[in-house]
Every structure is written in structure tokens, then in C-alpha cells.
């Protein structure tokens, strides 16, 4: 081979691999085998995704997908953003005669009620604690309308994939609920929560009286043009033993990544979490029953990064929404200090709509581990 040909080949491969390893805007895919890639901006034509690695032959209950979308969609009650989107999912591929074909499942969700005028004042001005500043610094060119790609609108795609992952997981039951809004707490450990209460109130907490207080508080905060944070607890039941891939892809590590990838998340507490630090080993150790189950479950259903068959539980902390309808000082792209006020339709508190997002991300993490676990033993081939 001529030296010039060799050189051209070298450059060809270098460029190819550089592209594959360092694609621009990396980070739009979650999962190793059961994978979700999402695309789209909040005020663009549509958002959507591709679910790859879903096995063939899964009967997809489209009504169940639709029901999950209704739980997340904007405009669903007076304590969430008043942007009105139907969030009907249009599947483009990968499902035939009601069953998955094992090929990529492509889907789109239209954006129909965007009001981009509300964002013209932040074209060159950064909302404090939103993603405007960092997206600008990283990419230099961004769709500022509605926060573009940084908007939680993208999480609609996660809910589509999560709804399918839930169906793949069959008996594994994933339930999330609002555990606190500001200082208002649902005063019950997850083991005493009545899951049937969650969908009966717009806050999605598991107690009617607490829900009334939380709803009232969110409305009050909204009137002041302000926002408030909260926490969501998630419980996963009927988990088979063996899910999780030590050492770097431990089950709770991936769940942490899944949760921390959700917009506005600031904390993830797994199993006994921070409270466990105040206990002694003699109190904290989960003592076995003869069948391998444990008498207590401070481990949160995971030991050594692998599920042990007990319930998995964790809590996710969400910050107060950044866009407030109050004047605040900020800076513009020229570095000048300017006063700005948020405009438009924002969530005064994200937790009511984040409940199905937390469940979906948990389902995606578990579906991936379920697929991977089938590869971990020769007996499975
Ligand atoms: C369900 C949900 C709804 C949200 N709604 C809003 C909103 O209406 N306005 C807003 O400024 N941020 C909202 N956020 C948060 C922003 O998307 C998020 O703060 C922003 O992308 C910056 O990312 P970070 O807070 O994770 O750093 C929402 C988050 C979630 C999970
Ligand atoms: C559109 C959704 O939520 C949006 C999330 C969001 C943000 O900054 O994250 C800001 C608001 O966007 P807009 O100003 O366009 O109404 C929310 O409504 C959705 O969840 O589907």
C-alpha cells in the first residue's frame, strides 16, 4: 500500500472513531441494552425518541402508555404549568400487530401550545438557576425558547419508554409518590403508605388530608409568583434477585444516575440513606430469614450493587423551580447586571408531575439490568 493511501486510511479511521467516541451533544441516550435516545426541544416542532433493544414479541398496551402520559402532561391541574399539551404519542416503528418486533421503536409527540414570546426577554439574559447560562457557555448557540432542550418537556419521552419498560418488567411493581412539599411532609414510612391513595389527589401524595395542605400551600406560593421544592419516594416490589452489574454499574448507582438526570433533581437517598449514619452496625444489619429474605431492609433491597429480592426504596429531592414571576438580578450575555422577571406558564412545584418521571426512569434502569442479567450466566444460553 502506498504511503499516501495508508495516511488517508489513518485519517479516515481517526475521524470515524473520534466521531463515534465524542459525538456532539452526547448524553442523549440512557441504557446499555434496553436503550432510550431522546430528541427535541420544548418549542420545536416535536419531541420524540427511539427505544432500542426491546425484545420482540412484547404485547404493548397503548392505553397504558397513554395513561402514563396523562399523569405527566402539563396543564393537568391548577397546581402545575398551564401549558396545554395532549401529549398523544405517535409510534412510527417497531410495533406491528400490537407486538414489538425487536427493531427500534420510534415515536414522536407534537409540541402544539408553545408561547415563545414569553422567552424573547431571555434570549440574551440568563434566568438564575435555569440552564440558560450553562447551555450558552457550552454550545454557544442554543434554542432559548422554553428552555429548548433543557426543558422538562423532554421527560415526556422518558415516560413513553418507561411505560413500555414497565410492561416488559411485568410483575415488578414500581410506585412513586410525593413525600414532601417544602416543609409539609407525609408522615409515614414507605412501608405504611396506602398506594391506592396516590392518584386520588392532584399532588400525588398518599394521604388525603396531607394532600389538601400541600395543594393549598402550592397555590399560595404560586400567587406570590414563587416556587417550592419537594421530595418523591419510590418503592419497587417483586424485584428478582441478581439485578445490577458490579462494580461500576451497581443497581443503586444506576438508579442514582437515572434520578439525577431528571430536571431539577438535587438529591438521591437510597435505602436507610443519611439516617443510617446515625445507627450502629448491630442495629443496621439486615438479619436473614432461612429463605434468604431479611427481617429488616435498611439495605433498600440492594447489597453489593445487586438486588437481593427485598423491596427497593429511595427518595429523590427536587429544588424549587428556577423561573419565578418576581424581579431578580441576573446578568446578560455581555456580562452586564440586569433586572429580570420570569414570564409565562411555569410549574410552581414540579413534584406532582415528576412522580411518573421517577417511576419511568426506575423502569428504564431495571429493564436494562433485567436484560443484562440474562447475559451474566452460561446457564441462560
Ligand atoms: C416535571 C418538571 C417540570 C418543570 N417545570 C419547570 C418550569 O415550568 N419552569 C422552570 O423554570 N423549570 C421547570 N423545571 C425544571 C427545569 O427543567 C430545570 O431546573 C432546568 O432544566 C435546569 O436544570 P437543573 O435544575 O436540573 O440544573 C421542571 C422540572 C420538572 C421535573
Ligand atoms: C412543557 C412542559 O413543561 C415545561 C417545563 C419547563 C422547564 O423549564 O422545564 C418550562 C415550562 O415551559 P413553557 O414555558 O413552554 O410552558 C413548562 O411548561 C412539559 O412538561 O411538557
CB of 151 shorter than 6 A to ligand 1? yes
For the chain, domain boundaries? 25-373
* Residue pointed to by grid coordinates 444516575: 257
Write the residue with the smallest CA distance to atom 6 of ligand 2. 151
Give the least confident one: 45-49, 116-120, 276-280, 373-377: 373-377
CB of 350 shorter than 6 A to ligand 1? yes
Least Cα distance to 310 among 234, 232, 240, 258 occurs for 240
Binding residues for NADP(+): 72
Give the distance (Å) from ligand 1 centre to CA of residue 11: 42
Q: Which three cell numbers stand for residue 179?
A: 413525600
> Does residue 249 carry a pLDDT above 60?
yes
Chain CA centroid to CA 84, Å: 21
**Top mutation candidate among 151, 318, 342 for ligand 2, by most atoms within 8 Å of CB:** 151
Q: What is the pLDDT of residues 157-172, one digit of tens each?
A: 999 999 999 999 999 9
Q: What is the pLDDT of residues 181-239, one digit of tens each?
A: 999 999 999 999 999 999 999 999 999 999 999 999 999 999 999 999 999 999 999 99
Q: What is the pLDDT of residues 66-110, one digit of tens each?
A: 999 999 999 999 999 999 999 999 999 999 999 999 999 999 999
Give the model's pLDDT for residue 19: 44
Distance CA(21)–CA(16), nearest Å, equals 9
Instruction: Select the CATH number that applies to the domain covering 25-373 from these four: 3.60.150.10, 3.40.50.300, 3.30.360.10, 3.40.1260.20.
Output: 3.60.150.10
Q: Are 33 and 371 in contact (CB under 8 A)?
A: yes
Distance CA(3)–CA(9), nearest Å, equals 10
Least Cα distance to 362 among 267, 235, 244, 265 occurs for 235
ipTM of model? 0.99
Q: What is the pLDDT of residues 296-343, one digit of tens each?
A: 999 999 999 999 999 999 999 999 999 999 999 999 999 999 999 999
Q: Which ligand is nearest to the CA of 110?
A: 2
CB of 153 shorter than 6 A to ligand 1? no
Amino acid at each position: 500500500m502506498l504511503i499516501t493511501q495508508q495516511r488517508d486510511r489513518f485519517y479516515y479511521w481517526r475521524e470515524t472513531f473520534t466521531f463515534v467516541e465524542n459525538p456532539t451533544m452526547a448524553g442523549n441516550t440512557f441504557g446499555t441494552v434496553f436503550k432510550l435516545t431522546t430528541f427535541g426541544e420544548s418549542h420545536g416542532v416535536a419531541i420524540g425518541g427511539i427505544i432500542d433493544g426491546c425484545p420482540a414479541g412484547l404485547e404493548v398496551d397503548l392505553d397504558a402508555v397513554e395513561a402514563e402520559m396523562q399523569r405527566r402532561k402539563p396543564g393537568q391541574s391548577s397546581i402545575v404549568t398551564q401549558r396545554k399539551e395532549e401529549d398523544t404519542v405517535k409510534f412510527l416503528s417497531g410495533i406491528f400487530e400490537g407486538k414489538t418486533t425487536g427493531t427500534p421503536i420510534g415515536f414522536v409527540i407534537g409540541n402544539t401550545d408553545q408561547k415563545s414570546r414569553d422567552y424573547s426577554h431571555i434570549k440574551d439574559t440568563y434566568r438564575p438557576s435555569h440552564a440558560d447560562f450553562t447551555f450558552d457557555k457550552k454550545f454557544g448557540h442554543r434554542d432559548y425558547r422554553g428552555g429548548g432542550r433543557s426543558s422538562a418537556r423532554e421527560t415526556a419521552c422518558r415516560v413513553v419508554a418507561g411505560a413500555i419498560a414497565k410492561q416488559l418488567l411485568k410483575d415488578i411493581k414500581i410506585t412513586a409518590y410525593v413525600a414532601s412539599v417544602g416543609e409539609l411532609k407525609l408522615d409515614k414510612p414507605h412501608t405504611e403508605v396506602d398506594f391506592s391513595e396516590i392518584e386520588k389527589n392532584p399532588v400525588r401524595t398518599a394521604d388525603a388530608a396531607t394532600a389538601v395542605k400541600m395543594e393549598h400551600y402550592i397555590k399560595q406560593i404560586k400567587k406570590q409568583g414563587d416556587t417550592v421544592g419537594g421530595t418523591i419516594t419510590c418503592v419497587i416490589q417483586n424485584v428478582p434477585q441478581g439485578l445490577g452489574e458490579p462494580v461500576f454499574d451497581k443497581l443503586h448507582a444506576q438508579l442514582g444516575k437515572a434520578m439525577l438526570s431528571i430536571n431539577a433533581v438535587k438529591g438521591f437517598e437510597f435505602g436507610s440513606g443519611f439516617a443510617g449514619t446515625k445507627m450502629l452496625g448491630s442495629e443496621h444489619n439486615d438479619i436473614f430469614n432461612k429463605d434468604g429474605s431479611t427481617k429488616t431492609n435498611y439495605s433498600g433491597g440492594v447489597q453489593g450493587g445487586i438486588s437481593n429480592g427485598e423491596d427497593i426504596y429511595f427518595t429523590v429531592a427536587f429544588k424549587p423551580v428556577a423561573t419565578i414571576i418576581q424581579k431578580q438580578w441576573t446578568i446578560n450575555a455581555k456580562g452586564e447586571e440586569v433586572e429580570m422577571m420570569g414570564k409565562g406558564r411555569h410549574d410552581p412545584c414540579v413534584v406532582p408531575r415528576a412522580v411518573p418521571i421517577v417511576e419511568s426512569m426506575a423502569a428504564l434502569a431495571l429493564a436494562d439490568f433485567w436484560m443484562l442479567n440474562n447475559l451474566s450466566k452460561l446457564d441462560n444460553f
